[in-house]
Amino acid sequence: MNVEHEIYNIVDENDCITGQASRKNIHQNKLLHRSAHILVFNSRRELFLQKRALCKDESPGLWDTSAAGHVDAGESYDACAHRELFEELHLKAVLKPSMKISACQETHEEHVQVYTCTTDETIQVNSEEISEGAFFGLAQIQKNISANPAQFTSSFKLLFNQTLNNENIS
């Protein structure tokens, strides 16, 4: 991945586009930008978590949402969510917008649009981005976060806590 060639929109606190810059520039200068996160549930209401590959520049080796990624310049949140779901998990699914989280330190200055889907399709993780993945019950995830918070990304912990408090999960 060449961080100089990935171009994202720079946005303000209201998620309005103010410009564009490279991923590297945005991250170095902590500029606000966008990402999409997808929570993939199975029919047993278990949530798929991915463990980020050790080669990732952000949060390597930590447990994270099922799939996630930066929204490219000129791309919508919806298009990004479908692209990332396929790139990371080789899935195509109906995605339902769940909630929006404003940019903050825990999200690495990203406005996050969260989507959910339910599928029993076989997940094929992209080994370049993900070292492992599995379905977990929500109570087990909550217990694991309480016991080992440093094993989870800050954005996932924030998102998961809001998901538990949100009746809207699919």
DSSP string, 112-146: EEEEEEE--SPP---TTTEEEEEEE-HHHHHHHHH
- Report, as an integer, the average pLDDT of 79-89: 98
Q: What is the mean pLDDT of the chain?
A: 93
User: How many residues are listed for the chain in this entry?
Assistant: 170
Check whether 3 has a pLDDT greater than 70.
Answer: no
Distance of CA 48 to the CA centre of its chain: 12
What share of the chain in percent tops pLDDT 70?
Answer: 94
Distance of CA 61 to the CA centre of its chain: 15
The C-alpha atoms of residue 112 and residue 159 are separated, in whole angstroms, by 9
Check whether 110 has a pLDDT greater than 60.
Answer: yes
pLDDT for the residue 169: 47
Taking a C-beta distance cutoff of 8 angstroms, is the pair 68, 84 a contact?
A: yes
The C-alpha atoms of residue 86 and residue 89 are separated, in whole angstroms, by 5
pLDDT for the residue 1: 47
CATH 3.90.79.10 applies to domain 36-164: yes
Each domain of the chain, given as residue ranges in start order, spans 36-164
Say what the pTM is. Answer: 0.93
The C-alpha atoms of residue 152 and residue 135 are separated, in whole angstroms, by 15
Choose among 10, 130, 122, 133: nearest CA to 72.
10
pLDDT digits (tens, 9 = 90+) for 128-170: 999 999 999 999 999 999 999 999 999 999 999 987 776 444 4
- Report, as an integer, the average pLDDT of 97-124: 96
In eight-state DSSP terms, residue 166 is -
pLDDT digits (tens, 9 = 90+) for 6-46: 899 999 999 999 999 999 999 999 999 999 999 999 999 99
Choose among 38, 31, 30, 29: nearest CA to 69.
38
Band the pLDDT of 78: cuts 50, 70, 90.
very high
pLDDT for the residue 4: 59
